Structure 1
Amino acid sequence: MSMGVLNGNDYINSYEGEQLGLSEEEVKKRIKEGKVNQIPKVPSRTIGQIIWANVFTLFNGINVVLALLVILAGSPKNAIFAGVIISNAIIGVIQELRAKKTIEKLTILARSKATVIRDGVEREIDVEEIVLDDLIFLKSGCQIPVDAEVLPGSKIEVNEALLTGESDYLIRNPGEQLLSGSFVGSGSGYAVVTAVGANTYSSKLSEEAKRFKKINSELQNSINKILSFLIKIIVPTGLLLTFTQMYFINKPWQEAVIGVVAGISGMIPEGLVLLTSVTFVVSIVRLSKYNTLIQELPATEVLARVDVLCLDKTGTITEGKLKVIDVKNFDISKEEAEEALSAVVHSFSVVNPTQEAILERYNQKGNFEVTNKISFSSSKKWSAVEFEDKGAWYLGAPEILYKEKYNEIKEQVFEEAERGRRVLLLAKSPRGLSEIVPADLEKAALIIIEDIIRPEAPDTLKFFDTQGVDIKIISGDNPVTVAAVAKRAGVKNADKYVVATDLPKDKEEFRKAVRENSIFGRVTPHQKKELVKALQADGHTVAMTGDGINDVLALKEADCGIAMASGSDATKAVAQLVLLDSNFASLPKVVQEGRRTINNLELAANLYLTKTVYAVILSIIFALILLPFPYEPIQLSLVGSLGIGIPSFFIALQPNEDLVQKGFLTRVLKMSLPNGIVIALSVILVSLLLNFSGVPDFKSKTICTLIIGILSMLILLRVSEPLTKLKVAVCAVMIGIFCSAFVIKICRRVFSFSHLNFYDIVIVGTCILAAVFCLAVLSRVVARFIDKREAKKENKIRAGAKK
């Protein structure tokens, strides 16, 4: 039959014929007409954008202008720092292209699928292959990829949290509209596609979901603060230095320009920005080996800072596969109970893991004729079916279905739950089906189901315990059952559990309950979100794993959302990390990679900001004391490359499993400020001494550069602790190359160094010894000052929180 633009009645007719859904010819026609669900690719930069972003930056622009000025001044060798900028840009482009390739490969693995009916055959296709008028099959947990209309015979419960922010579940009956971007909470059925591609919400869903809450990266925030501050001081300092060097110092304009460029170029920590992005993209490539897709660059950093990890029991510490252990009947025979149980689970076309376990045991459908049914949903935690001549049967959580009469079966439920088993109640209603559970339900049987613990779960949980990460198990199951399973898996404090319905309404009491308990059962999607918020209010950095639609709100609220690839599309859309093998045993690798990234970048940042600090101080002071600048750009390039740039890349990629502490910027300032101040003071005092002694600028710059270089190497050795063979080798090579620049004649010519005599060496040695002593004293003073300031800030925050 021809199927142009179809409606529900057309499909009803097609069910009775030989053909179901569109034919291949009709699909091809719609593709040709552009009526296909073509969705923009995952937001990632094109090759051109990557090149642009790495080359045409503000700091690169400043450096290019400075390089051109030096060349115009007749000293092209002093523009060598521009070569460093070019090499940095090339490295950045190569690393980001490498990461882009990795991400695209992994994204293909995580690509969403859809089930359609074509030529009467059920097929699984990419969501981008759906065409207008396609017949799609929707089931619990799947993302609705297109706008569609529910067909007769179907009844679907949807969650539109990602579209409206409301977590309520809504029933969509035949003829009603389904919006792309919403998710099927329960039920299943068919729908006809009414809008595809740009005409739906699906192409914008991922971006909008992530825009809901941007990941909080302390590292990136700190670096942005540093760069913002530098932008504010570079321009006025540069103008002041230019003015004084050109108008108050009796030197040719060419020398003045070289001095100005030396001052300004030293202030820019362009290598730190590059190193940060390169280190993040290297992390992406490394973690791809462990089947982990990083959807936001700072995700590894945030997970490394996590001190509370919220896990769902099913599919995380257990395999998600269940097994029916026993059926305990009450007032009816076991055969009758099992027959009714089998009929109930066979009444739903889409099944969850619990139904699958029952179906595996009872694979015969029976002759029950369904007259009405209510699908299971995570909010109500039960399902029900009414059969002709057999009455209405309810299946779900015992304490919810049996309510006031729950005490009759409580002891049996508790006994099984203590063994780590899940218990369902099968009950019969003397009247028809109702959306509200009848108070006079008659208990028929208890269904005992057991979870299978993942083999790798105990080791993974032990890792987080040893790392000081608190584990919270949040589940929709009975807390006693969850606690028993958690105990078997090795969760610490598994005996501290609570039913979510018993959690206090008062915020402070709620936070206290969350603080004191480790296992939370019968938790609704909204309560999961509130649990995460309560932990964050206590100052914790929270990670949340999830695989179901009921985890979406909590994943979005958590500092780091972790989704299982085998889970619903909803979780993958909002998570920062996707575990492609759906195995949370990969998380220790992510944590270790995050620690390596943050801790090593902190060490490298100490080097870069030390140079920035002394360059800023020297620029301001030499502008005020009206003396020629104490070094040339090429000389600073030598120090910067050997004492900072080259070794920082080795440092950043070294193993580092130290615990990550809060206060990245504070710790960096504690080290870089005294380092930079001491270097600046050493150079200023020596310059004044040499100037008053009549030493030529040529030699004075050589001595000052040597002092800066030696102190930079000492700081490099300090930052490299604990020293390894590789670190020692790198430092030794850097020191050797630096010293050779003062010894080898051709190198002295290239870097404009003069020959140094014994008196010069004595000055340098004395200055270094004094600087080391001053550094030890000043480090303590600066540390105390910063600590007091941070303490005042903390007290203000606490006082504000109390108010």
Structure 2
Amino acid sequence: MANEDLPGASVVTAPLHADVDPSVGLTADQVARRRADGRTNDVPGRASRSVRDIVRANVFTRINAILGVLLIIVLATGSVIDGMFGLLIVANSAIGIIQEVRAKQTLDKLAIVGQARPQVRRDGQPVTVAPNEVVLDEIIELGAGDQIVVDGALVEGEALEVDESLLTGEADPVHKTPGAQILSGSFVVSGSGAYQATKVGKDAYAARLAEEASKFTLVHSELRSGVDKILRFITYLMIPAGLMIVYNQLFVSKQALPDALNGMVAALVPMVPEGLVLMTSLAFAVGVVRLGRRQCLVQELPAIEGLARVDVVCADKTGTLTENGMRLSELRVLGDGGEAVVRDALAALAGDDPRPNASMLAIAESIDHDPGWTSTGIAPFTSAKKWSGISYGDNGNWVLGAPDVLLDPASDPARQAEEAGARGLRVLLLGSSDLPVDAAAAPGRVTPRALVILEQRVRPDAAETLEYFAEQHVSVKVISGDNAVSVGAVASSLGLPGGDRPVDARELPSGREELADALDEATTFGRVRPDQKREMVGALQSRGHTVAMTGDGVNDVLALKDADIGVAMGSGSAATRAVAQIVLLDNKFATLPYVVGEGRRVIGNIERVSNLFLTKTVYSVLLALLIGLSGLLSQVLHFDPLPYPFLPRHVTIAAWFTIGIPAFILSLAPNNERARTGFVSRVMRFAVPSGVVIGVASFVSYVLVYAGPESTPTQQVQASTTALITLIMIALWVLAIVARPYVWWKIVLIAGSVGGYLVLFALPFTREFFKLDPSNIAATTTAIVCGGVGIVLVELGWWVSGLLSGDKRRVFSLPESPAG
């Protein structure tokens, strides 16, 4: 369909409803009646859920359900103090709800700015409206790059081609003639026209999909999938450990029911990683809010993480490295046609373009008179053919496009164009053709009439942004549809390596392997077709690269959709904003380093807190297993069984300053460490050995001081305190390792955690309240010795694992890059 002859003048067919004149559109009364009848495009915005859904998702969770059941068991024993862990349910839910609502408000505000805003005809005038303000039977105008927001039937068309790849997966644009069906979710590649809305709201094609986001390639989140794996691992461990401790407490130790239940709950509560999912969601939500303050709309939350893993950025030149606006720098007349005719032709072309691009706007601004010519045929610009044109009957057939496409490369005008392009200027050729522009063989033989030389301003922050990516070992490929020499001049002026050796994409090989080789060798490419951009992204991905694609034009859509992360400029076409995961509403390429930095903060900090939570789960499960096994062995070897050493209040305070407060602070802290794959394996390599050390050391210290079932209540409290001191000492050292490399505030955080426990153990009131008794010198000395041995083992394990994995260990932080 994409290769059919394009029609010339627009054709208007009768509208579907006789009371609607397509040239006038709906009247104000007709719009009001349709709104009153509910015939509006009331589809909820993408990536947004209601406050009720947010509350439900944060309150009714599996972890809250487990903690809730355990809370009921403890309260049934009459020990309200030991039910303090129930506050975790309230805290987890409240923090999650508050942060997600904040993120929702930020997203909703930015989405309004970044959404497609169709132009409709009302009372004979074009009016720009929000998508949800479109009503049934509306006449909606179309131009290149416009996203189609509702279903309809075409009533006008001028060489209109529509890309339906987001709906059908078919990349080739479809030629649409009046009467043809137009589906929401598609977008205009070239040409112009108007269509009448026949289905709006939930009846529209895109809305009938399960979710609007299903049209897009969802970003894979290693963090989320990794956390899911960790939770599954924990669930498998909890089942045998939980059953064993229940059996030991109720049947082996023969404790009174309230004491047995309290011990069982104390063993099970720390196995639940109550904050891990919360901290993950919290880090993403805070990232959305932070980036929102920089006018960066994150349409898929894992995209924050994805961009931090990117190692190749494919950047368009126009609108990304250069500013969108242009100005006419020089009009160089060729031949003997005369400047007056050239200026008339340019004025006519600019005046008759219904959707002028930046080049045409610059021409119209400099040449604004009306020659009074009447068009007889039109050929809109497409990225594939690199030219546009209009036929004006007796006034000739005029084309405007790329000199290296329309001219003989050996000709003098082509040489002049090349020289101007080498200075970073944008050069267009105005020519007259011997064929009507809408003929099958157009443009035919082109006679050069003038070189239109436009000046683009390089973004002042582009060089600094490229330098940041170079420092972070992220390769930048400049991929543009402009002349290769012109693209190279801009890239060279910004200091991009290889910018002085631009490659003309028309000479690139078609095979994926050969194309990947070419991309490895060069950084700057010109005259790239839209389908080639897509192929280049695929070739880079075939070599294991994580690719981000930036763009603002309709010619970037296919590549944006296929890239691992698509980044669109806010001023770009609606189609690019629709398929991108990240939209830079401020149109600043320099915002990308902050997005990368935010992604690194999320990834690095979630890994930190995952280490803490999984360590707690491992030592809790191991301690339960050791107590349970001792109970089973006691029946075989006939020695006194060991009850679980802790009360629920003990495990609550053990997590306060080793995990709870520190994890919350670390999850939101600055972190510019380079993102790496292997999240789950790294967490397991650290947390499992550390958890084993804590569990075994706590168990040993408890065994050494436990006086048997005949011990007094004071001796039982002292034995529990001994095991708790050992556990807290090693857990604090785990926190100290996880917080590395140190900066001043991390040292303060660790010192504050140590101080918090010293206060709990020193004050008579807290000792009585939490049933702590460190007064037995021998028992406390045993606790400190076991804790010291555990600290040495954990520290050695950290250094040894670094040597085995090749990770460079640093105790103190180096100065961080300000861009991150």
CA shift at 1:779, angstroms? 3.7
Q: Give the unaligned 5+ runs of structure 1.
A: 789-803
The 3 A distance-change label for structure 1 pair 676 and 436 is farther
1:375 is aligned to 380
Contact map agreement 1:673 1:782 (CA 8 A) in 2:
no
Secondary structure of 1:309's match?
strand
Secondary structure of 1:116's match?
strand
Higher mean C-alpha displacement, 70-79 vs 710-719? 70-79
Matched, 1:774 2:779: no
2:582 is aligned to 577
Quick one: which of 783, 787, 792 aligns to 1:764?
783
2:72 is aligned to 68
User: Hey, what's the Cα distance between the residues in 2 that align with 1:441 and 1:121?
Assistant: 38
2:229 is aligned to 225
User: Hey, what's the Cα distance between the residues in 1 that align with 2:582 and 2:159?
Assistant: 33
Q: CA RMSD in A?
A: 2.6
Contact map agreement 1:96 1:278 (CA 8 A) in 2:
yes
User: Deviations for 1:368-410, whole angstroms, at most 9, x for unmatched residues?
Assistant: 33211211112222112222123323322233334x6666654
1:158 is aligned to 162
CA shift at 1:588, angstroms? 2.1
User: Hey, what's the Cα distance between the residues in 1 that align with 2:440 and 2:521?
Assistant: 35
2:45 is aligned to 41
Secondary structure of 2:601's match?
helix
Contact map agreement 2:218 2:300 (CA 8 A) in 1:
no
Secondary structure of 2:344's match?
helix
Secondary structure of 1:578's match?
strand
CA shift at 1:282, angstroms? 1.5
Secondary structure of 2:141's match?
strand
CA shift at 1:96, angstroms? 1.5
Q: Which residue identity is paired with 2:592?
A: L
Quick one: which of 7, 23, 33 aligns to 2:15?
7
User: Deviations for 1:24-65, whole angstroms, at most 9, x for unmatched residues?
Assistant: 112212222222222223342222211111111111111111
User: Hey, what's the Cα distance between the residues in 2 that align with 1:206 and 1:299?
Assistant: 21
Matched, 1:544 2:563: no
Secondary structure of 1:333's match?
coil
The 3 A distance-change label for structure 1 pair 11 and 497 is farther
User: Deviations for 1:425-455, whole angstroms, at most 9, x for unmatched residues?
Assistant: 2333323342444553333333222212122
Of all paired residues, the percent bearing the same amino acid is 39
The 3 A distance-change label for structure 1 pair 777 and 129 is closer
1:354 is aligned to 359
Matched, 1:482 2:481: no
Q: Which residue identity is paired with 2:585?
A: L
1:792 is aligned to none
User: Hey, what's the Cα distance between the residues in 2 that align with 1:204 and 1:415?
Assistant: 53
User: Hey, what's the Cα distance between the residues in 2 that align with 1:144 and 1:778?
Assistant: 58
User: Hey, what's the Cα distance between the residues in 2 that align with 1:42 and 1:169?
Assistant: 25
Contact map agreement 1:209 1:574 (CA 8 A) in 2:
no
1:717 is aligned to 736
2:291 is aligned to 287
Q: Which residue identity is paired with 2:342?
A: A
Quick one: which of 697, 703, 706 aligns to 1:688?
703
CA shift at 1:764, angstroms? 1.7
User: Hey, what's the Cα distance between the residues in 1 that align with 2:62 and 2:188?
Assistant: 47
User: Hey, what's the Cα distance between the residues in 1 that align with 2:793 and 2:156?
Assistant: 83
The 3 A distance-change label for structure 1 pair 776 and 729 is closer
CA shift at 1:307, angstroms? 1.9
User: Hey, what's the Cα distance between the residues in 2 that align with 1:782 and 1:262?
Assistant: 32
CA shift at 1:691, angstroms? 4.0
2:669 is aligned to 654
User: Hey, what's the Cα distance between the residues in 2 that align with 1:77 and 1:439?
Assistant: 89
Contact map agreement 1:391 1:431 (CA 8 A) in 2:
no
User: Hey, what's the Cα distance between the residues in 2 that align with 1:11 and 1:355?
Assistant: 37
Higher mean C-alpha displacement, 631-640 vs 302-311? 302-311
Quick one: which of 462, 466, 477 aligns to 1:457?
462
2:281 is aligned to 277
Contact map agreement 1:210 1:574 (CA 8 A) in 2:
no
CA shift at 1:147, angstroms? 2.4
Residues 18-167 of structure 1 correspond to what in structure 2 (within 5 A)? 20-152=24-156, 154-167=158-171
Secondary structure of 1:93's match?
helix
The 3 A distance-change label for structure 1 pair 406 and 57 is farther
The 3 A distance-change label for structure 1 pair 8 and 743 is closer
Q: Give the unaligned 5+ runs of structure 2.
A: 1-12, 632-641, 808-820
The 3 A distance-change label for structure 1 pair 132 and 45 is closer
Q: Which residue identity is paired with 1:671?
A: F
1:791 is aligned to none
Contact map agreement 2:47 2:213 (CA 8 A) in 1:
no
User: Hey, what's the Cα distance between the residues in 1 that align with 2:557 and 2:156?
Assistant: 29
Quick one: which of 623, 626, 631 aligns to 2:628?
623
Contact map agreement 2:173 2:189 (CA 8 A) in 1:
yes
Contact map agreement 1:155 1:174 (CA 8 A) in 2:
no
Secondary structure of 1:313's match?
coil
User: Deviations for 1:65-107, whole angstroms, at most 9, x for unmatched residues?
Assistant: 1122222234332221111222121111112122222222222
CA shift at 1:12, angstroms? 11
Higher mean C-alpha displacement, 710-719 vs 423-432? 423-432
1:740 is aligned to 759
User: Hey, what's the Cα distance between the residues in 1 that align with 2:431 and 2:729?
Assistant: 82
Matched, 1:594 2:599: yes
Secondary structure of 1:314's match?
coil
Contact map agreement 1:148 1:191 (CA 8 A) in 2:
yes
CA shift at 1:513, angstroms? 0.9
2:318 is aligned to 314
Matched, 1:392 2:386: no
CA shift at 1:708, angstroms? 0.5
Q: Which residue identity is paired with 2:665?
A: F
The size of the alignment, in residue pairs, is: 779
The 3 A distance-change label for structure 1 pair 431 and 592 is closer
Contact map agreement 2:434 2:444 (CA 8 A) in 1:
no
The 3 A distance-change label for structure 1 pair 259 and 29 is same
1:446 is aligned to 451
User: Deviations for 1:161-191, whole angstroms, at most 9, x for unmatched residues?
Assistant: 2122222222222332322222111222333
Secondary structure of 1:617's match?
helix
Secondary structure of 2:548's match?
strand
User: Hey, what's the Cα distance between the residues in 1 that align with 2:16 and 2:377?
Assistant: 21
Secondary structure of 2:129's match?
strand
